[in-house]
Structure 1
Amino acid sequence: MHRIETAKMNRRAFLKKLTRTGFAAALATSLAYGYARWVEPSQLTVTHHTLSHPLIPRAFHGVKLLQFSDLHLGHYDSLKRFYHVIDRINTLEPDLVVFTGDLLHEANRYPHTETVAEALANIRAPLGKFSVYGNHDHGGYGTDIYRRLMERAGFRVLVNEHALVRRGQEAIAVAGGDDMMLGRPDWAKMTAGIPPATYTIALVHEPDSAVETCRYPIHAQLSGHSHGGQIQLPFIGPLMTPPLSERYYEGFYHVGGLVLYVNRGLGTTRVPLRFFAPPELTVFSLTNREK
């Protein structure tokens, strides 16, 4: 009799412990989901870095270049949050602004293209504003929509071409490649005509393209596309890396003689969640480094 009662007590204790554990797990899952859905996607971060090279002209020493990427407007992201991004960019007072692709999630279905163009036109950048295509900018019959929108906003859309950015008598080159997934990138065309010994920054949406970029006279590549993995777990890493961002997905890398930086982007794709991958604006200070 005693053994039967002890067994029942042990079984009840086990079931209580199991119930508490299950409840705690469900609560933790709910809290994590709420954070990933509603909190982190709104936690705009600004990261500051230095790009240093002997070929950066002295006239560009201290110039601030701001990169933003992957807004994916229309995919759970509101215009209110977008306006906040524009305001934050202007408070940082960049000299040069670059956008590395994926503005609208589905361009042909997005109803506020004129509003977006007007807001982007408010970005102030005395040395110029440049952009390239991402896969979502070409997708959904968006190629022409994206170009018209960005040009109306004062951005030069670079498609396998470059521009010389001048300050006084000196210049750097900003080159832009077409999207690798839905476009026709051409690195040789992109770099053709850049004067020798000109510091060159390439904008290419997909970061894994760096293995090709490093074969050309390009010193730095700025990319997006990865969303920083969008959902990262400690000791595991990113769970969601789109094609062509599996090798390089966040921050700085050295690929041959090329410096690659992968921006985490601002919006979301596939699922409206971010976890340990907050949205990012990146500010680079250009520095002349003596040989």
Structure 2
Amino acid sequence: MNRRTFLKRLLTSSVVLLGSGGGTYYYAREIEPSMLTILKKTLTSVKIPQTFNGFKIVQFSDTHIGFHYTIDQFNSMIDSLNKLKPDCVVFTGDLVDMPHKYGWGDPIVQSLQKIQAPHGKFWVYGNHDHGGYGTDIIKDVMEQGGFTLLQNEHTIISKKNESITLAGLDDAILGKPDIEVTLQDVAPDSYTVLLVHEPDYADRVIQFPVDVQLSGHSHGGQIQIPFYGYVYTPYYAEKYVEGKYTFNNHQLQLFVSRGIGTTRLPYRFFCKPEITVFTLQSTKGNS
């Protein structure tokens, strides 16, 4: 999207909200961005080992801390996340909004350390993580927070001698994603979940043996106008914006999170922030 179109859509968003009256503007700026929702999804497959029945993967994405989203709000979200008792937690990118201007320090590390997941905490880069010379800073912060980076690599999550595969790509906009390297040596019968910040990358992922892709980046459009739809979605989130997508003749399922924070404009309208709980269920042995 060129700069002129981008600015036009942002202006449209502001005009619509302001023109709707002070109450709507206040709601979109001060109320809905704090209305965290918990989505619950069940992932079924014959490839999921029966020992993983009930295994919970919790995804959160796009916190954009520093742009109208504070550490206190982040800690409140973490409290909600921990109450879900996840087995594994995944973060699909964009930790802070402007890494080169953010006041890095112990509080954000301490917040990340509070997240509890016995089978690990994993993350991938988003475009804001690579932007503003923040690549190495954010990597260090996430590592101190107990998160493992999956940058064009995969890991095996094991339970009672059975396993699934969790993989992650580098950011598609500012990084160098390499899905061939990422999935190298992954057993074809292993249930494989892939973390990719940008959802539209799914059009390439469908060529590979991936069962589920988890993405963010879109913010669900952030502002949705009734009977009009999304006012704006960023590059690489123009085709797949929110929710679940399935691909005919392919095993891939794509889930796109609306994320937590906001960027560019501090509004959410008909687009509440969310974290998602994915519960695994084996269909092995079912008739």
**Cα distance change of structure 1 residues 26 and 48 upon mapping to structure 2, 3 Å threshold:** closer
The answer to whether structure 1 residue 274 and structure 2 residue 264 are counterparts is no
CA distance in structure 2 between the aligned counterparts of 1:145 and 1:113, rounded to whole angstroms: 11
The match for 1:62 is 54
Report if aligned partners of 2:18, 2:24 keep a CA contact under 8 Å in 1.
Answer: no
State the 1:181 CA deviation: 0.5
Larger gyration radius, structure 1 or structure 2: 1
Runs of 4+ residues deviating >3 angstroms:
25-28
The match for 1:109 is 101
Corresponding letter in the other structure for 2:220: G
Instruction: State the TM-score, normalized to the length of structure 1.
Output: 0.89
Superposition map of 1:120-269 within 5 A: 120-255=112-247, 256-269=250-263
Corresponding letter in the other structure for 1:244: Y
What's the secondary structure of 1:83's corresponding residue?
helix
State the 1:257 CA deviation: 2.4
CA distance in structure 2 between the aligned counterparts of 1:143 and 1:220, rounded to whole angstroms: 26
Instruction: State the TM-score, normalized to the length of structure 2.
Output: 0.91
The match for 1:71 is 63
The match for 1:286 is 280
State the 1:59 CA deviation: 0.8
CA distance in structure 1 between the aligned counterparts of 2:226 and 2:101, rounded to whole angstroms: 37
**Cα distance change of structure 1 residues 26 and 225 upon mapping to structure 2, 3 Å threshold:** closer
State the 1:236 CA deviation: 1.4
CA distance in structure 1 between the aligned counterparts of 2:113 and 2:62, rounded to whole angstroms: 17
CA distance in structure 1 between the aligned counterparts of 2:243 and 2:184, rounded to whole angstroms: 28
State the 1:243 CA deviation: 0.5
Unaligned stretches of 5+ residues in structure 1: 1-24
| Identity fraction in percent | 48
What's the secondary structure of 1:109's corresponding residue?
coil
State the 1:289 CA deviation: 1.4
CA RMSD across the alignment: 1.3
Which shows bigger deviation, 125-134 or 25-34? 25-34
- Cα-to-partner distance string for 1:225-261 (whole Å, 9 max, x where unaligned): 0001100011211112000001000000013321000
Unaligned stretches of 5+ residues in structure 2: 1-16
Which shows bigger deviation, 176-185 or 228-237? 228-237
State the 1:28 CA deviation: 3.9
**Cα distance change of structure 1 residues 193 and 35 upon mapping to structure 2, 3 Å threshold:** same
CA distance in structure 2 between the aligned counterparts of 1:285 and 1:137, rounded to whole angstroms: 28
Report if aligned partners of 2:43, 2:280 keep a CA contact under 8 Å in 1.
Answer: yes
The match for 2:111 is 119
The match for 2:10 is none
